Structure 1
C-alpha cells in the first residue's frame, strides 16, 4: 500500500501525480496574498481589504513567522481566511523555523529588541523594511555596507549588532534563511497570476519531498535536479519490477525497519536485527551496519573491475544510485553500475530479518539472472548493441575470474 502523501507527488519525483484538492484550495486562497503584495495595478477590493487591517501591524501580519493564533481580530472573513491559509501553508511545509528575508524588522514580535526600540523605527523610516535589506547575495552585510546603502546615523551601530546576533547566532545555523523559499518567491517575488494555482500547489508539494530527509540523513547536498534523476530511475534502470519496487521503497523510505515497527508497536525492539547495537533505521540497515560492510566491500571491488573506475564509498551512490559524479564513464557502464548496486540492495532484503549478511556469490548469481532477463528483452527488440554496451565488460570480468 502507498500512502496518499507519496501518491500525490509528481511523476518526476517518484509519485503517481494524484491531485491534492486541499493544496489546490490553499493555492487559490494565496492569490489574495499575491494581490496584496503586488506593486503593479491592483483591483478595488484589495484597497478595501487593506483598509480594514491594523495599519501598524500590516507587515507583521504577512511575515512574522510566528503562529496563526497571534493574528489580530480581522472583521473581513475573506481576509482572515487568506491570512490563516498563508500561515497554514508555512506550518505545513515546516518553514516557520527560519526567518524569511521578507520578514519585517520594526515591531516584529519574533525579534524582541525590534519590538519597542525606537532606533529600529529609524531603520524603518530610512527604508530598511525587512530582513532582506540586510542581505547581499546570501551574505549578511557589514555595518559599512549598510551605511553606504542607507542614510543611517552611526549611533545606530548597537542596533546592528543586536539584529545580527539574533539572526546569525540562534541555533546551529542561525535563525535567518538567507534566501526566500520557492513558495515565497512565487507568491510575493514573481507576482504573476498566470498558472498561479497549479504552480503554487506544486511548490508546496516540492517542499515536502523526501529529498530534504535524505539531505539531513546522508549529510550530502542533493539538488532537486539530482533528485529527479534518482526518481527517474524507477522507469528505466532495469526491466524487472522487483528491482524498481526496491528502489521506490528506498527513496520513499517505505521499508518496515525495526525503528518503524517500534513506532507501530512499542513492544517491538528498535535495535538492528543484525548488530543489535544501533537503532535499525533504513540508513543503518542498508549502509551503516558493520555486519554488511564486508558484503558492500566485495560488491564494490568487483564492480570497480567492470567499470574500470574507482567508486566513492558514498551512500548517495550505493543507495540512491546517483552517478552524477561519474558522468565521465560511458553510458553503458553507468547503467551496469546502477543495475549492479540495485541488485545488491535487493539481495540485502532477502536477509531482512536475518542476523547474517548476504554473500558476494548470492549477489553475483542474481546479477547473472538479471543479465539473462535483459538479454532476452534486447534480442526480442533487435537491440543487441545496447545489451553489449551494458553487459559485455561484466561478462569479460566474469570469464577472467572463473
Structure 2
C-alpha cells in the first residue's frame, strides 16, 4: 500500500527500465517480506492473481511497469497528440506506425537508440502477437508510409475508415470515396500496395483487447491494462495444483463453477479477516504436515500427530484421522440440532465451505461461521494430540457471531441475516446447554 503508488509514479513518468533483471530482485525482496525469510508456501503467480480467480491480489511490479508502458504508447497508436509525438519522435525517419507494425526499426536503428523509446518498444514487441494477431483496425498505412517531419499534421485515416467488407473479403475503398484522405492517385496506389500485403495477414474484424482496454477508455487505463496482462500472465494457473490435490483427496472433481463461486461470493459472508484467512489457507493447503516436514528435513517419522498411526497427510489431519473424525461428527450433530434437519456430511462443505444445495439457503451463513470457527480451533491444536472441546467451539463461534452482529453487515446478505443467525444460535445454546441467557 505504501510502496506501490511511489513505483507507479516512477513507471508513468520515467520509462527507462531497459534491463528487466531488477524486477526479479524486487520480487525476491517482496517474497522475503511476505514470508518473513521462510520458504514460500504459495506460488508467486497465485499470490498476484486477482481475487475473483482465487488469488491474493499481490501487486506484480513488472506487469504494472508494462501496463504503464502501454499508457505511454497510447499516443503512438492514436496519433492525435501531435505535440507529444513531435517531442518523442524528433529524429524519427518514418511514421510511428511504421515502427510499431512494419518493422522499420530494422532499417532505422536510431529509433531504439533513444533510452525511453527502446524500453517502450521492447514491451510492445513482447505483447504484440497477443494483442494484435491480425492487421489492427487502428493502423494507419498513410502515416506509416509518410516521411517523418516536425509539425506533421494529425488526423491520419486508419484501416477502420478506409476499408469495407465485401462478402467474406475486405476491399480498399475507391479513390473517389477517399479523395479527402489521400493526396493524389500515386498516394492511393502506394496505400493499395500496402493493403495487399496486410490483406495476406488478415484484418481484425472485431475490436481487439488493445482497443477496448487501452485506446477507447478515458479513465482507469492503467488498471485495465494491468488486469489484462495479469490474466494472460496467470492463465496457466487457471486449474491450480491445490484444486487437483483436493479432487484427489475427496475422491471426485469439484466443478470449476464451485471454485469460482467460492472465490467470488463464498468469502463475502463475513468482514472478519481471521475467517477469510483460514479459508484461503485451506484452499491452498497452507498448513505444514508431518509428511511435508519429513520430506523437507529428511525425518524418519511422518506419522499423524494425533492418532500416531497413519501418515500425517494434509487430508488425514483435517478429515480422516479418527480423532478429527469424532470432532467433526460432534460439530455435525450440533448443527443438525440448530437447523432441525439432516444433511450430508461432505468434506468439501466442512473444509472449504463449498456447501452447494446440502444446506438450506437461509442456514448457509451460520453453517460457514460454524465450520470456519471449528477449523480455526483445529489449527490452534495443530500439533497437539488433543482436540478442542464443544465448549471451546461454542465460545469461538459466539465471538465471531457477536463480531458479525456488532459490525451489522454481511456482504450480499445484509444485517437482517446476521441478526437471524445470531438469534438462532442464542436460542440453541439456551435450549441445549443454558450457556447464554437472552
- TM-score, normalising length from structure 2? 0.49
CA distance in 2, matches of 1:340, 1:400: 18
Contact 1:237 1:244 in 2 (8 A): no
Alignment of 1:214 onto 2:254: no
Q: 1:261 to 1:367 in 2, by over 3 A?
A: same
Mapped pair 1:6 → 2:36: no
Q: 1:15 aligns with which of 56, 79, 95?
A: 56
Deviation at 1:373, TM superposition (A): 2.1
Equivalent position to 2:368, from 319, 324, 338: 338
Structure 1's 295 and 225: CA in aligned 2 closer, same or farther, altered over 3 A? same
- Shift of the 285–233 alpha-carbon distance from structure 1 to 2, 3 Å rule, reads farther
| Secondary structure of the corresponding residue to residue 325 of structure 1 | coil
* Contact 1:261/1:268 (<8 A) preserved: no
Identify the residue that residue 312 of structure 2 maps to in structure 1.
Answer: 280
Alignment of 1:110-189 (within 5 A): none
Counterparts in 2 of 1:233 and 1:330: CA distance versus 1, 3 Å: closer
Show the 5 A alignment for 1:256-335.
Answer: 256-267=288-299, 269-326=301-358, 329-331=360-362, 333-335=363-365
Contact 2:266/2:353 (<8 A) preserved: no
The CA deviation at 1:300 is: 0.3
Counterparts of 1:277 and 1:216 in 2: how far apart (Å)?
22
Q: Of 396, 404, 422, which residue of structure 2 is paired with 1:374?
A: 404
Residues 49 and 230 in structure 2, CA contact (< 8 A), matched pair in contact too? no
SS of residue in 1 equivalent to 2:311:
coil
- Post-superposition Cα deviations, 1:68-112, rounded to whole Å, max 9, x if no partner, equal xxxxxxxxxxxxxxxxxxxxxxxxxxxxxxxxxxxxxxxxxxxxx
RMSD: 3.6
1:401 and 2:432 are equivalent in the alignment:
yes
Deviation at 1:283, TM superposition (A): 1.1
8 Å CA contact 2:45–2:234 kept in 1: the answer is no
CA shift, 1:21, in A, is 5.2
| Structure 2 counterpart SS, 1:210 | helix
Which moves more between the two structures, 275-284 or 1-10? 1-10
* Shift, 1:8, TM fit: 2.1
Aligned to 2:386: 356
The 1:209–1:267 alpha-carbon spacing in structure 2 relative to 1, beyond 3 Å, is closer
2:418 is matched with 387
Q: 1:236 aligns with which of 268, 275, 294?
A: 268
Aligned-pair CA distance for 1:220: 2.4
Instruction: Write the distance in 1 (CA, Å) between the matches of 2:124 and 2:336.
Output: 49
* Distance in 2 (alpha carbons) for counterparts of 1:272 and 1:26: 50
1:194 and 2:224 aligned: no
Q: Distance in 2 between matches of 1:27 and 1:277?
A: 58
Number of positions where the alignment pairs a residue of Structure 1 with one of Structure 2:
249
Give the superposition deviation at 1:350.
Answer: 1.9
Q: Return closer, same or farther for 1:263/1:378 CA change in 2, 3 Å cut-off.
A: same
User: What displacement does 1:284 show?
Assistant: 1.0
Task: Give, in whole Å, the separation in 1 of the partners of 2:393 and 2:124.
Answer: 48
State the distance in 2 between where 1:9 and 1:372 align. Answer: 33
- In the alignment, the residues of structure 1 paired with residue 129 and residue 330 of structure 2 have an alpha-carbon distance, to the nearest angstrom, of 59
**Mapped partners of 2:266, 2:406: distance in 1:** 21
Distance 1:247 1:280 in 2: 21
Distance 1:199 1:368 in 2: 40
**Per-residue CA distance 1:230-253 (angstroms, 9 max, x = gap):** 234674233432222222211111
Is the CA contact (8 Å cut-off) linking 2:323 and 2:387 kept in structure 1? yes
Q: CA deviation at 1:19?
A: 3.5
Structure 1: which 5+ runs fail to align?
39-190
Q: Could you say which structure has the larger radius of gyration? A: 2
Q: Is the 8 A contact 1:28 1:197 kept in 2?
A: no
